[in-house]
Every structure is written in C-alpha cells, then in structure tokens.
Amino acid sequence: MDATQKIILITGGSSGIGKATAARLLTNPNITVVVCGRSLDKLESAIAELEPDGARFAAIQADVSVPEDVTRLVSSVQSKFGGVDVLVNCAGKGYLGGFPETTPELMDALWNANVKSAMLTAQAVLPAMMERKSGHIINLCGVLGVKTIANAALYCAVKHALVGFGNSLAAEVKRSGIRVSNLCCSGVDTPFWDGIAGKPRTELLLKPEDVADEIVHLISQPAYVITGSVLMQHVAHQL
C-alpha cells in the first residue's frame, strides 16, 4: 500500500462491498478508514464486526445524496484526520423492472443514490486534493455502466451516467495529480439485492471480498499509474 494514500473515505461503507473494503484496508496499520452510511444501526453493526482501532477509524452517519450531509461528513474527516486521500464511492441503490412502470419518484431516487451522491462527495473532497496535487476517486459503476440488459433501463441509465461522469472528471483533474477510476463489476452477493426481483443464483455472483481486493489493488498502485476503468465479471456470468 502506498503510504502517502492513508486516509480513505468509503461511502456506503456499512455493508456489502464498502464494509468488505474497509475490513481489507484496516489490516494495514498505515491506513485510516472512514465509512459512512444512512443507517446508524448498520453502522453500529459494522463497527462491531470490524472491531477497528479507533485511532484510525471513524463511522459517520450521512446520506451522501444530501448536500448538507456531505459537507458535514467531509468536514468531520478533515477535522479528525486532516483530509481525504482516497474517496471510494460505494453508495448506491438498485432496481430491475419494466420501464413503462418506472415512476418519476423512482427515477429521482436512483439518480440521487447512484449519481448525485458520487458527484457531491467528489466535489467536496476535490478542493483539498487539488491543493495537494494528489488524490484518488474510485466509483463503483457496476457492469451495467458499460453493458445493458432488458428490464434495467433506469439502472443502466444512471450507471452509464456515473461512468461518463468519472471519465470526464478524470480528464479534468489529471493535471492536478488526481486519479479517477471506474470499477464496473457484475453482480455481487450483497444486501444490494434485498427487495429486487431477479437476483442471479448465488454461485453466479462475485463475493464482496473479490471487489474489495480490486479496490485495494487500485489504491495500491504507484502514483504514476492510473487505471481508468476495470470490467470485472464472474467467469460464469458475463454480459
């Protein structure tokens, strides 16, 4: 792990990929991890499971689709630890269903959870990164950010938007020494699928730890290396 990248903020860090990534990172004594999530109960459960060293860990309740929450979150990290070296945007919301039945409220909810949240958090951490001329933003875009399937028009739309955002942002900030990576993985066996019809069989899903390992790899690359996009799929469930 590059020791200069030691303060890592993970949105959606109370469960699934975010929590698995926090667990992996906390094995490195040089790394400080901050996770956030909307549910205080889930955050408390994650803390109990991770058993972190409080000197280099914080869990903060925040809805990252709400600007005021994002401002409070990033300010808290800066006050406690001094800033954010790496932002991992894991927060998101899923939906599969026919487009004719998709409501405007659902359109707003998925946009806010998957795209607006990543935009707000990136916008909040970028000024300090640009001042330092270093930083890394990793967006969890999912395979449907680069592929499409039937009955996922809304979800494909927001994930394609997130990929476009990441690619454009990467071009904008590269001369400031900031890297942006899009990680597009196929289905992962996490609570993401709760309440969603059409969950693939478990044996066709990646494990959260598989994706966490790839995130750690991206973070661990030397500062002169940038991996813009990664397409990661289960060998038996490729799109």
Instruction: Note whether 40 and 64 are within 8 A (CB).
Output: no
Residue 2 token pair: 């590059």
Q: What is the residue extent of each domain of the chain?
A: 7-232
Q: What is the pLDDT of residue 221?
A: 92
| 25-59 tens-digit pLDDT | 999 999 999 999 999 999 999 999 998 888 899 99
| Alpha carbons 51 and 185: distance in angstroms, whole number | 28
**What is the pTM assigned to this prediction?**
0.95
Residue 213 token pair: 């390992």
**Quick check: 4 pLDDT over 70?**
no
* DSSP 8-state symbol, 229: E
| Lowest-pLDDT choice from 26-35, 131-140, 141-150, 189-198 | 189-198
| 70-86 tens-digit pLDDT | 999 999 999 999 999 99
Q: What is the pLDDT of residue 17?
A: 96
Q: Between the CA of residue 239 and those of 145, 169, 182, what are the distances in Å?
A: 12, 26, 17
**Quick check: 99 pLDDT over 60?**
yes
| Alpha carbons 228 and 139: distance in angstroms, whole number | 10
**Quick check: 177 pLDDT over 90?**
yes
CATH, range 7-232: 3.40.50.720
Q: What is the pLDDT of residue 40?
A: 94
**Quick check: 92 pLDDT over 80?**
yes
User: Any idea which residue has 């597009």 for tokens?
Assistant: 184
Mean predicted lDDT score pLDDT of the chain: 94
pLDDT > 70 in the chain, percent: 98
Reported as a pLDDT band with limits 50, 70 and 90, residue 230 is very high
